[in-house]
Structure formats: structure tokens, C-alpha cells
Amino acid sequence: MLDALLLGLIEGLTEFLPISSTGHLLIAEHWLGQRSDLFNIVIQAGAILAVTLVYRARLFELAGGWRRPEPRDYTLKLAGSFAVTAVLGLIVKKLGFKLPETVTPVAIALIVGGFAIFIIEAWAKRQPPRDTVTWKLAIAVGIAQVIAGVFPGTSRSAAAIFAAMLFGLTDRGKAAEFAFLVGIPTMFAASAVETLSLYKNGGLQTESGSELAVAIVVSAITGFISVKWLLRYVSTHDFKVFAWYRIALGVLLLALL
């Protein structure tokens, strides 16, 4: 039960911070023991619920504003970004790609991603303020999400946020919002596909119901707190603190291996 609580906590805290939830879960499971695919789907569902609750007002606004040009355009770009992720993600899955289960690739991705954050932040500071979501940006975010799925330790949220910043959305809060909103259907779809696959293979009876309940509740609560904190933080700070964290953790992991 304690393992389930800790893993739910890790998922909730790291899913939307640019530090890689998949990487942290792989690291945790390296010492706590590997959990089933069902468990990983369930704790991600808690994180999806969290970000949906955080953005519930914005989602209602977009859903109810379909007849107005601005919300319709934004919604179409969210849909387009998700479509890019879905198509490329299915191609990657058909090719038989599977995430590595060792810590070394995660450590390397953490370090590389940390240096990438420094570079992107330096570039963004030299750009004029822009808060417009373009089609080029939406496509780039969709591609970035797939890349993050291929390389554990990259971080889906980091890849999406910094792709948005690189393609013109220099407002960090707006970049985070687009990344998180497009992450909702992305994570829902990924969880649904994995759940269907487990159902077909008889893998839905592999975990304790009480442990799953604890994990999803903890993941949802900590995820909600994490997203709210990050949005407040980036309104007055850049992402460099996460770069330092990624590099330090990556170096530590390589030293311990």
C-alpha cells in the first residue's frame, strides 16, 4: 500500500512539471519494484482528472464559444495538435517501439533536457512578447509529444511547453496552458488504448483494488496542487530551476549506476 501511495504521489507531482513523470516512475520502480501496466494507467488517470479540474472553466469557455472566431480557432488548433500526436503515436506503436526499463536512458534524457531548457529560455528572452497560437506551433507541439513518448526522461509537458515557446509562444503561462490542454485528450487517448489492450489480453485483474484507489486519489490531489503551483510560478519566474534539477538528478543517477 505504501508503494502505491508513493508512486501516486510521484506521478501527481511530476506529470505536469517539466521533469518527466515517466522517468521518475521508472527510477522509483527500479527500487520499489516494477508495477503492472494497469497500475501505471490508473495513476495517470488521476493526473488527467487533476488537470481537467484545473482547466474546467477554460474548457467550458472553449466548448461554449464554438460560434466565436477566437475560441473556435484555439479549439481547432488543440484538435490539430492532438491529431498529429495521435497519428504519429499510432505509427510509433505499429513499429513496435517499447519504452526501455533501465535508468541510464532516463538519466541521459534528463541531462540533455536540462541543457535544452537553458538554451530555449535564453532564446525566448531575446524574442518580442507573443501569445498567439499558430498552426505551425500546434503541429510542433503534437510532434514534440510523440518525441517525449519515445524517449523516457524527456517529459511530455516539457516537450510541449518548450516546443510552444520555440515556435512563438513566448508567454510561459500561455505555453503551459496550451501544452496542458492538448495533454488532456492525449493522455485520455493513450490510457484508453492501453486499457483496451490490457482488456484484450486479460490483464485487468493484476492489481489490488484498494491500492489502485489510493494511487488514483493521491495522483489526482497532488497533480491538482502541482499544476496550480506551476502556473503561479511561471507567471513570475522562468523554467531554469527545473533545468538545474534535471541535470543534478541525471548526474546523480549516472554516478549511482
Dihedral (CA of 109, 112, 114, 117) sign? negative
Q: Is residue 11 a contact partner of residue 235, using CB atoms and an 8 Å limit?
A: no
Q: Tell me which DSSP letter residue 65 carries.
A: T
From the centroid of its chain, how far is CA 180?
8
Cα atoms found within 13 Å of the Cα of residue 27, Cβ hemisphere only: 25
Round to whole Å and give the CA distance between 87 and 82: 9
Per-residue pLDDT tens digits of the chain, which is 257 residues long? 777 788 889 888 898 999 888 778 877 777 777 666 677 777 788 888 999 999 999 999 998 887 888 889 999 999 999 999 999 988 887 887 666 667 888 889 999 999 999 999 999 888 888 888 999 999 999 999 999 888 878 888 999 999 999 998 888 889 999 999 999 998 888 878 777 776 676 655 665 667 778 888 899 999 999 999 999 999 899 999 999 999 999 998 888 77
CA distance 43 to 47: 7
Q: How far apart are CA 65 and CA 67, in angstroms?
A: 5
What are the residues whose beta carbons fall under 8 Å from the beta carbon of 100, sequence distance 6 or more?
152
3-state secondary structure of 156: helix
